[in-house]
Amino acid sequence: MTHRQIVIIGAGVSGACIARELSRRELDVLVVERASDVCEGTSKANSGIVHAGYDARPGTLKAELNVEGNRMMAQLSKELDFPFINNGSMVLCFEESGIPKLEELKARGEANGVEGLKILYRDPVSRNASGDKTEDTSDNAPVWETPASAEPNISPDVVAALIAPTGGIVDPFLLNVAMAENANVNGVDFAFDTEVVSIEKNEGGSGYILDVIRHPSLRNHIDAETGDRISADIVINAAGVFADRFHNMVSAGKINITARKGEYCLLDKKTGGYVRHTLFQLPTAMGKGVLITPTTHGNILIGPTAVDVEDRDTTDTTAEGLSGVIQTAGRSVAALPSGGNIITSFAGLRAHEDNGDFIIKEVEDAPGFIDVAGIESPGLSCAPAIGVYVSEIVDRICPSEIKKDFVAERRGITSMSHADDDLRAKCIAENPAYANVICRCELVTEGEIVDAINRPVGAVTLDGIKRRVRAGMGRCQAGFCTPRQTAILAGELGVDIEKINKKGYGSGLLDGYNKE
């Protein structure tokens, strides 16, 4: 049986941000993840939105951590070299009767500490700055900004909009990867393809015993499932939609998480620029509703739906769900450029806890067991602040010294599609593989793919490459580049090509492969 001081369950964005913060201290930390890579659960299928923080009720953890995470994101993107754009967001109102709800959101955001919030009106001449009706027809009447002036393609049905200039967009995959890489460089270990099946309190004293199954894995160099046990002084439960199961194994006070599925459509880059802000509609009881947003890479993303499901692994899309996304999103703009511009669709799961707020604390009847549960929207925005929050809890339980040699910065993979001519020439001179284009849609080269595989916590699957360098994310959706990526993976990992998977064990690409 292996002993570790701290075990984090889950290598999604919350787990990775916690790992990065803990890596600042002289601690022994292991992250266990049942999938083959980081960012394989909720974190892989979300909107990539850095929310401003006006939606959560004041006084909740969601509100506190959203605003703080938002404030941290720009500096972190510079330190860890992941894409982040402060594009601002708008909440659209289509009926006069909805304006009080918009004003309520503004007041809520101001109570949470969100800066710069204001409401824009379609007919601002008849309103003053507070939104009250006025009649000012003089030549000296002020020139008011309107929703249409802020966002030219907005629907003419919009009567008012709440604008939040601190809202932004981020690459959710590269945020997750960057945090995990930096944590690993600073001493945190990762055990992938390692599924926790049970947790029990250590009868011999403090701490916990975790029973795990190690699945067939190119990382762990095993071809069959094997069992193992890990003991830990502290367990951090960042297991997404499964967090309630682990909590309920060690605590008499039960919690319940519902998996809430959201379906999305991704539009071709040629639609880029159609909207500048992230466009929300007034929220409902099920969440923030269907949005339209630019991505950091120039696409347009629409979605998600919100449907509670029993299967916590289901990520299928439905004709009904995608049709609803397109129809609802179309209400926000004058003419949604969907149709032939949709290049892919996908679905993700959000972990909704019955009480509606995050649960981040040491469990009262399970000392040393820390829940990070119910992390639904705005979880991505909150993740950096969650890392700090949990690190402070750990330090109260187990005080430790700050590392003198902590490496705070990380450089990402050089992108040939974004590099200028001088940088391209320099990279190619140093390594000719940067001149060998593998993915034509996204202009991804062999050099970038090799780097993605050989970095700390590197890619071992096609999806792992895709999330790090975007090979296969373009118009053809890997139709042309899959064989070449597969061959590169096999060569770099030193395995036969039939062992290469799309996303982990059980997702092999080749059936009946004959090496002869």
How confident is the prediction along the chain (516 residues), in pLDDT tens digits per residue? 899 999 999 999 999 999 999 999 999 999 999 999 999 999 999 899 999 999 999 999 999 999 999 999 999 999 999 999 999 999 999 999 999 999 999 999 999 999 999 999 998 766 654 445 444 545 555 567 899 999 999 999 999 999 999 999 999 999 999 999 999 999 999 999 999 999 999 987 789 999 999 999 988 778 889 999 999 999 999 999 999 999 999 999 999 999 999 999 999 999 999 999 999 999 866 556 899 999 999 999 999 999 999 999 999 999 999 999 999 999 999 999 988 999 999 999 999 999 999 999 999 999 999 999 999 999 999 999 999 999 999 999 999 999 999 999 999 999 999 999 999 999 999 999 999 999 999 999 999 999 999 999 999 999 999 999 999 999 999 999 999 999 999 999 999 999 999 998 889 888 776 666
334-372 tens-digit pLDDT: 999 988 999 999 999 999 999 999 999 999 999 999 999
User: How many residues comprise the chain?
Assistant: 516
- Return the pLDDT at 510: 84
What pLDDT digit, counting tens, does each position of 459-506 carry? 999 999 999 999 999 999 999 999 999 999 999 999 999 999 999 888
CATH no. of 85-168+258-352: 3.30.9.10
> With contact defined as beta carbons under 8 Å apart, do 28 and 4 qualify?
yes
3-state secondary structure of 52: coil
Q: Catalytic residue among 3, 51, 277, 297, which?
A: 51
What's the confidence (pLDDT) of residue 285? 65
Number of helices and strands in the chain (H, E): 12, 22
What is the chain's mean pLDDT, rounded? 93
> Tell me, what's the pLDDT at 500?
94
Strands 257-267 and 437-439: unpaired
pLDDT value for 204: 72
**Do the first three CATH levels of 2-83+171-256+354-397 and 421-499 match, i.e. the same topology?**
no
Identify the CATH number of the domain defined by range 2-83+171-256+354-397.
3.50.50.60
Fold category of 421-499 in CATH: Arc Repressor Mutant, subunit A (1.10.10)
Quote the pLDDT of residue 509.
87
Active site residue 51: yes
- Backbone φ and ψ of 482, nearest 5°: -55, -50
CA dihedral 126→127→128→132, nearest 10 degrees, is: 130
DSSP 338: -
Q: What is the pLDDT of residue 144?
A: 72
Task: Give residue 31's pLDDT.
Answer: 98
Strand partners, 167: none
CA-based nearest residue to 31, from 14, 47, 44: 14
DSSP secondary-structure letter at 41? S
Nearest to 174 by CA among 388, 420, 459, 472: 459
Closest C-alpha to 322, from 338, 337, 333: 338
Helix, strand, coil: what percent of the chain each, to 5?
30, 25, 45
Q: Which residue has the tokens 């960042």?
A: 238
Report which secondary-structure segment, H or E, holds 214: strand 208-214
Cβ contact 349:309 at 8 Å: yes
Helix or strand or coil: residue 86? coil
Contact 212, 199 (CB under 8 A): no
Domain boundaries, the chain: 2-83+171-256+354-397, 85-168+258-352, 421-499
